[in-house]
Amino acid sequence: MRVPTGTRPGRGSLRLPLQALIALTCFLIVAGALRSRLPWPESSGFRAKLEYFVEHKDEFDVLFFGSSRVLCGVAPREFDEELAEHGLEVRSFNLALGGMEAFETDYLLRRVLDLEPAALRWVVIEYTSWDPVGGWTAIESTNLRRIAWHTSSGTRDAVEAILVARVPFTTKLTELGRQARFLGLWVSNVGQAFPALDHARGVSRLPPRTNPLFGDDIPGLQGWHPMFNESYGRRAWSKRVKNLLNAGVRSQGEKVDLRDFPTGVLERQVERVRSRGMGLLYLGLSFDESLRAQALLERGTLPELFAYTSPLEHPELYRYEQRADVNHMNPDGARALSRVMAKDFARLLEEKGW
């Protein structure tokens, strides 16, 4: 019996999967081509600060990365002026952003290094938690900043951290699924249409007060965002300092288990900077992460660490008059921290013969 033309077994069953594969391939190619033209996320002053830096990337010797503790606590002009008094001429810029975690910091560092800043000699990174599980919420799942760092390499690092984390197996499965979702959102450019169109038209959907880093604030303050005093009582601050002192005493000699730490992720970050012939320094500004940072320094994973988490070692940084709140310096505190850091930086350069 002759089989009619076009109805031979197997040919029709392969047509639909093949068409789907072709369509998916075309989609990924187009999405990838468009992704390189998408603007930076606008929230929290991200886009305003990064666009300014891209235009002036060859003017800075030192870059600061980190969370709001660095954003509000490091004043580049004070840092530069203090170094000038030690005979070191540098120009620094504060690239920190509110809410920036370790994985997002690493993503931003990659993007900045890809720009090949001509004058950049030192990178200063706040040491923050590499825990990809803690602190994530469903509200943040569509945040464009969080989606942005879920590149293939960023997602790989997050997965690596999840696999070594000491959490229940079901939690790991949940978080791995979340990483897959973020990666899918990044690959498909979900949520990017309106931001891209607004950027092309020069329109912002954010009210000015939610984006404090516009216009002249960035060049004038070199990326620093002063935080002024909030309603925070002197008694509450005294209690906080006392708790920090007690915690410091209790933690003396305490050993930190690093078996659940994604060492490879941090080692790749260190190598990424060093391979370009740049110096790398980590800042310890969070007491919650201070013990782990110190353990990583002692193990040799962190090349250098300046820790400012002890009221005993740095009482000048723990005065009530210098604080906006528990975690952030006010302008006076930022100036004090920046000058203390610059003195330590000058001392480090002298000791290393750099």
Question: What DSSP character marks residue 258?
Answer: -
pLDDT of residue 319: 87
186 falls within a domain:
no
pLDDT tens column, 217-266: 788 889 999 987 665 677 777 777 777 766 665 565 668 889 899 999 99
Please indicate, yes or no, if residue 251 is contained in any of the structural domains. Answer: yes
For the beta sheet containing 305-307, the strands, ordered from the edge strand earlier in sequence to the opposite edge, are 92-94, 62-65, 122-126, 279-284, 305-307
Give dist(CA 297, CA 295) in Å, integer: 5
Q: Which amino acid belongs to residue 318?
A: Y
- CA distances from residue 135 to 244, 309, 337, 348 in whole angstroms, order as listed: 22, 22, 28, 35
Domain assignment present for residue 216? The answer is yes
Quick check: is 162 in a domain? no
Q: Could you read off the pLDDT of 105-159 as tens digits, one per residue?
A: 999 999 999 999 999 999 999 999 998 776 544 445 447 888 889 999 999 999 9
Domain CATH for 236: 3.40.50.1110
Residues of the chain with confidence (pLDDT) below 70: 1-13, 19-21, 23-44, 134-142, 191-216, 229-232, 245-254
Residues 6+ apart with CB under 8 A from 3: 9
Domain hosting residue 89, numbered range: 36-131+207-311+326-352
End-to-end CA distance of the chain: 87
The total of structural domains in the chain comes to 1
For residue 168, being part of any structural domain is answered with: no
pTM over 0.95: no
Q: Residue 318 domain-assigned? A: no
Q: How would DSSP label each residue in 290-353?
A: HHHHHHHHHHTSSS-EEE---TTT-GGG--GGGBSSSS-B-HHHHHHHHHHHHHHHHHHHHHHT
Looking at residue 346, what is its pLDDT?
A: 96
Q: Do residues 276 and 265 lie in contact, with contact meaning Cβ atoms separated by under 8 Å?
A: no
In a domain, 92, yes or no: yes
Residue type, 158: A
pLDDT at 202: 58
Give one DSSP letter per residue of 299-317, joined into a string.
HTSSS-EEE---TTT-GGG
Q: Among 142, 143, 68, 146, which residue's Cα sits nearest to residue 104?
A: 146
pLDDT value for 141: 43
Residue 202 domain flag: no
